[in-house]
Homo-oligomer: A and B are copies of this chain.
Amino acid sequence: MLPEKQQQIQLVSRPEGMPVKEDFLYKEIDVPQPSNGEVLVKTIYLSVDPYMRGRMSDAKSYVEPFKLNEALAGGVVGEIVESKSAHFQKGDFVVGMLPWQEYSVAKEKEVRTIDPDVAPISTYLSILGMTGLTAYFGLMDIGQPKEGETVVVSGAAGAVGSVVGQIAKIQGARVVGIAGSDEKVSYLTDTLGFDEGINYKTTDNIYKTLKEACPDGIDVYFENVGGEIGDAALSLLNKHARIPVCGAISSYNKTDRDLGPRVQSRLIKSSALMKGFVVNDYNDRFKEGATKLGEWLSQGKLQYEETITEGLDNVTDAFLGLFQGKNIGKQLVKIAEPSK
């Protein structure tokens, strides 16, 4: 029997700087009923991601801002608990962009079936999901690492960065990862096989430390964080360097202007390419990316880590923790147990 009521997480005020608990409201709502062609999905895992911070502000970006006094939404892996669609059966696992709540109605096109026998269902929100695809396309399409080149990744122990560095290793590059704790740095070098790791929090001069770690300069800088780490990497570019710009997490909660050295002269000096992207730019190539990631995973060439927080009550904490670097690998929240 399904419950009649459930909890939903709403955005009730637009954060200034770092979001606070009061920006979010847990609200009791009805469990909805699916109509013809729809399914009712029980949320199993919910994905919290840094890019969501952008949608909490009013400024128009590549995705629309979240609406106030409505549910937040993001990547969800769930289980079909009621189906009024011929395409889905009760018990199917699915992935889609759904509201932050326990049960959601989805139209057929809003979710797709995933196979729990291929990989754990959580991976469809991490290594086999948007996160893995973001790493794959940003690195392979924009970064284009070549054997023997030096690839630097910031946010290297995070969801995207940890995959980027491993793919760069598969391509034969020398990989240097920048992260925010000794534990993360050990994870990069000991578990993931990065050539070198830098703990930027214990470094008093990131430029100097990065320069020492990259005696041959930087050919690819995969940007996840921006700020002074980005400034340093942009000072060490080799001729024809490539910079996939995936994120700038250091700036997302800034209330003052995010000022740094202008990049024009640096880009000219090395004929470097810097390109922003979002994973949806590659919508029509998702199959290619997922296939490749799946192959590497099954061949044991890709490791992945998931930091899993338990319970809907802890979703906002898990989200805020992203900005304190609390996670290693992909941060997920487990909302419920699957029925089997």
Contact of A251 with B by CB under 8 A: yes
Q: 0/1 per residue, A234-249, Cβ < 8 Å to B? A: 0000010000011110
Chain B residues near A270: list those with CB within 8 A.
Answer: 62, 276
Closest to A63 in B: B269
Chain A residues 49 to 79 lying within 8 A of chain B, measured CB to CB, are 61-62
Contact of A82 with B by CB under 8 A: no
Chain A residues 248 to 299 lying within 8 A of chain B, measured CB to CB, are 248, 251, 257-278, 281
Chain B residues near A230: list those with CB within 8 A.
Answer: 262, 264
Give bound CA distance, A223 to B266, whole Å. 13
Contact of A227 with B by CB under 8 A: yes
Chain B residues near A177: list those with CB within 8 A.
Answer: none
Q: How many copies of this chain sit in the oligomeric assembly?
A: 2
Give bound CA distance, A167 to B335, whole Å. 57
Give bound CA distance, A271 to B138, whole Å. 11
Contact of A158 with B by CB under 8 A: no
User: Number of contacting residues on A, CB 8 A?
Assistant: 36
Contact of A226 with B by CB under 8 A: yes
Chain B residues near A260: list those with CB within 8 A.
Answer: 259-260, 262
Chain B residues near A275: list those with CB within 8 A.
Answer: 267, 271-274
Binding site for B on A (CB under 8 A): 61-62, 223, 226-227, 230-231, 239, 245-248, 251, 257-278, 281
Can you give 28 contacting A-B residue pairs, CB < 8 Å?
A61-B269, A62-B239, A62-B268, A62-B271, A226-B262, A226-B264, A227-B262, A230-B262, A245-B267, A245-B268, A251-B262, A251-B264, A258-B261, A258-B262, A258-B265, A259-B259, A259-B261, A259-B262, A263-B263, A264-B276, A267-B275, A268-B276, A268-B278, A270-B276, A271-B278, A272-B276, A273-B273, A274-B274
The 4 closest A-B CB pairs, nearest first, are A267-B276, A248-B264, A268-B276, A226-B264
